[in-house]
Amino acid sequence: MKILKNMLIIAAMLLPAGIILSYPGNSKNAASTAPEGVVALNRADFLEKVYNYEKNPEKWVYEGELPCIIDFYADWCGPCKRVEPILGELAAEYKGKVIVYRIDVDRERELAGIFGVRSIPMFLFIPKKDNPQTLMGAMPRDSFVKVIEEFLLKDAG
């Protein structure tokens, strides 16, 4: 009985730490929650790999080598979670042709604000040579494929 009592005391002491550590904002590596092939972006990565709005505030200049999709999401968002495996599949299917990124709007509020994210999921489709297009809401796989083929890869040889 004394062992059980001690175990309950230890469990009660560890429970708050477990809750704090499991809170999405306390995850050390956002990429660890990304599906395979999907790359998590923070502000610094975004400026380097996508668009340096500090260097080019007046003109869209894509910094990437391949067209990309950016998923603005949050860990608590149900529709975001439904789209997550689709994005993982597409990242694998279009590897070497399209890059799939994701940005956690709770962690990267500045980026979410710059792109006017008011509802999630929101997707930014960025071709190599054209201006980006925005689509909102959890889309089916076929819709993603259509945008990839007809917009992102339209000029690909």
Q: How large is the greatest C-alpha to C-alpha distance in the chain, in angstroms?
A: 73
- Dig out the tokens for 126 from the structure: 């960025």
**Helix, strand, coil percentages for the chain (3-state, nearest 5):** 45, 15, 40
Tokens of 39: 């790359």
pLDDT in the model for residue 39 = 96
Q: Which residue has the tokens 């860990």?
A: 75
Q: How many CA atoms lie within 13 A of 85 on its CB side?
A: 2
Q: What is the mean pLDDT of each run of 10 residues along the chain (157 residues)?
A: 39 38 39 72 96 92 96 97 96 97 97 93 95 95 97 82
89's CB contacts (< 8 A; 6+ apart) are 141
Position 157 scores a pLDDT of: 54
Q: Which residues are the active-site residues?
A: 77, 80
